[in-house]
Structure 1
């Protein structure tokens, strides 16, 4: 994941919490604190974990795929549009080509929009909004992921805060116009190579001297590139009829190609490179704005003197599957812990190498153990639960968080005390919940497994 994607996901999580309320983030906060670093690093670590858990990382992957496909579609449309300009400028060769009409067909729209883009950049700081909105809309539609709808606003806010949107959209707009002008130029060259064109200029209200001056002025820069245009005699003679001499046709063709190249292709190429350079330079300076309310509120939770555990969002439709975050080389030893035991004697007699973590019956005890496991994860963890209690979401979330902090985990469903019986329906709820978590469970003490690693 790139630095931009990391910041993008962090901004997306902030917007999501701003509109929908705080997420359940106790484990994310704990892991961010354990990762260390400054506040910005911890906020990004927390956001990455939440994005992975809630599917935003996958949605970002889908959005990027849609964005690439949308860009390909727009590039193809730009190439087709440019080809259309080239065909419209020269026609089928049956009639002489009016050079200034052809030049207007090739360059007029491009130059008008180029001037509009430059004015927008100077005075408003926003440009290419229509093409940019079209690209974002296409990207979202092609992503086909409901969660991807949150990504585009987050990206825009992130870029606007650092004034990078103008350069990102500028690279997009000028890049597409560059493709269109290159396509038009290629079509013009192909037509000139395969058909014989005569060139004329026509006017009703302007004098011939005006066209001579205009033609020579426009051809001055292309002439520096070796694309010399028609002589003054050729220009004046072309006002009456198309000159039927090869040198005149070649001179007008070179002039038309040179003017299109210098005033159509090169400005867009230079501007696209400029915007791309400013975009890459600005992207390297992207940072989180820690003064935003959404980030400022995380300071106490991620760099606190004390923390609180709790659940603040609605229950998920399905429990998250557990994948241990601990590698075999990181973990060591065996640990037995119990959750909320009322009147049971504890602990059982343990073998020498198995450590007892006690009974987790308060927020403080849970927090203390989770912090210890984040630093010293056990290779094997057994969690004892009283199946007389209902498997509420808080207990299951704690079990899942403990399991992610150990190399391997087993659940010990304690048997009922003498003279009491377990409720079959409640026991079945425990079985179903633990099966969803994909955790092995049994009603006998896994002490041998804790000691040796096998039954």
Structure 2
């Protein structure tokens, strides 16, 4: 299987559970058998089963598509944040033809940011969840950009998984604060660029407030920025700016430094600190993520995955289509050679003469014999497996599914299409049906006994 992070494994497991909850149980006999053979505790087996089903049914590819969509959605939102930040800077300073009202400029730069930041903090403190419209937009956009039908359960599964440890607010917090940080950095960059290339005058205006109020407010807002080295206008500069924009160069620079310092201290630094805080809480919290084994969907799997309560004869509906043969065990994990036959009648002589190095697994003619052999091959995969079939029978879906399942247990597989008994002939159309089906399974076949291949690995 493709290498996955622990979060991806839990995510896919939840997605498979949701899929079965809404669409009914999947055909999982082989997945259960492989999970039992992999051993481990119940959670390990449940994850193994789910990952096998996810890879078989295309959900693993859908996860990769969803993550690609999430990255693309973040890029789109980041571009919008940059453009929005630039718009804030233009709205704050204007074209330089008229004096800049410092408090209108400050409101343009920080007003919406502070309102949404306060809303996020209030939701986190009093409700336990933060309102993160940008975060939810990112989730929705990620799903739309994935464009994969198998990704329908991925977003709900991720939300349910994270809600157990209340980590969704930190994930969305990273997204929200990070995007606002990008927007404010974009505003700061353009603000500095405009100030470096244009001459701005700064004023404050009021009808009902006195100059003392603006002096106190300006010096109060500039107290922390001044500790970081940003300039703050003197009291005389502040009072004089209430009448007209000062032409004094020092006054222009002082007001510009004050505006930049307030933006950095009350806009950029809080978002930066919150982004780091959310990221750290997320890094710590995700280590404790685990499946809820008391959920009914997982409780039902206990009997099928734990050896002490393993049961036989599960009757599942046939799959809607034949599953292809995926890569079997590597050569380092397999040993020996096995010959097995599928549903032969008495007219076919069996078994053929075999060397001692080749194991005769007999004829599979019952559900119990199939399950027993599949369990053995899963635990002890052979390097070479030959499957004998009677081409007088039609290649029905059940037989082809069994062949594919057997082939997944071996490093190399070859199908032996037996010759017709003496006095009989094979139907050419039916034989072509076999060839077409085996080509779809990407399996080799032969018309003669593959004894030499089984014994030595070559013809």
**TMscore range, shorter length:** over 0.9
Kept in 1, the 8 Å contact 2:417–2:447? The answer is: yes
- Is the partner of 2:303 in helix, strand or coil? helix
Equivalent position to 2:258, from 255, 258, 277: 255
More displaced 10-residue stretch of structure 1: 200-209 or 344-353: 344-353
Q: Is structure 2 residue 386 aligned with structure 1 residue 382?
A: yes
Per-residue displacement from partner, 1:177-231 (whole Å, max 9, x unpaired)? 1111111111111111111111111111111111111111111111111213111
Equivalent position to 1:120, from 95, 119, 123: 123
Kept in 1, the 8 Å contact 2:81–2:183? The answer is: yes
Structure 2 counterpart of 1:200: 203
Residues 55-454 of structure 1 aligned to structure 2 (within 5 Å): 55-304=58-307, 305-308=309-312, 312-317=316-321, 319-343=322-346, 344-454=348-458
- Is the partner of 2:325 in helix, strand or coil? coil
Question: What is the CA–CA distance in structure 1 between the aligned matches of 2:319 and 2:378, rounded to whole Å?
Answer: 25
* Cα 1:247/1:262, change in 2 over 3 Å: same
Alpha-carbon deviation of 1:419? 4.7
Kept in 2, the 8 Å contact 1:128–1:173? The answer is: no
Per-residue displacement from partner, 1:40-61 (whole Å, max 9, x unpaired)? 1111111111111111111111
- The two structures have a TM-score, normalised by structure 1, of 0.95
Kept in 1, the 8 Å contact 2:135–2:173? The answer is: no
Kept in 2, the 8 Å contact 1:222–1:255? The answer is: yes
Alpha-carbon deviation of 1:322? 1.9
Question: What is the CA–CA distance in structure 2 between the aligned matches of 1:249 and 1:351, rounded to whole Å?
Answer: 97
Q: Aligned residues, how many?
A: 454
Kept in 2, the 8 Å contact 1:337–1:359? The answer is: yes
Alpha-carbon deviation of 1:268? 0.7
Q: Please give the root-mean-square deviation of Cα atoms over the aligned residues, in Å.
A: 1.8
Alpha-carbon deviation of 1:424? 4.3
Question: What is the CA–CA distance in structure 2 between the aligned matches of 1:80 and 1:324, rounded to whole Å?
Answer: 48
More displaced 10-residue stretch of structure 1: 322-331 or 85-94: 322-331
Question: What is the CA–CA distance in structure 2 between the aligned matches of 1:163 and 1:346, rounded to whole Å?
Answer: 62
Question: What is the CA–CA distance in structure 1 between the aligned matches of 2:311 and 2:415, rounded to whole Å?
Answer: 27
Equivalent position to 1:28, from 20, 31, 37: 31
Which ranges of structure 2 fall in alignment gaps of 5 or more residues? none
Alpha-carbon deviation of 1:313? 4.2
Question: What is the CA–CA distance in structure 2 between the aligned matches of 1:16 and 1:42, rounded to whole Å?
Answer: 18
Per-residue displacement from partner, 1:92-148 (whole Å, max 9, x unpaired)? 111111111111111111100000011111222332432122112221222222222
- Is the partner of 2:415 in helix, strand or coil? strand
Per-residue displacement from partner, 1:149-187 (whole Å, max 9, x unpaired)? 321111111111221110000111011111111111111
- The two structures have a TM-score, normalised by structure 2, of 0.94
Question: What is the CA–CA distance in structure 2 between the aligned matches of 1:337 and 1:35, rounded to whole Å?
Answer: 24
Alpha-carbon deviation of 1:83? 0.8
Alpha-carbon deviation of 1:311? 6.1
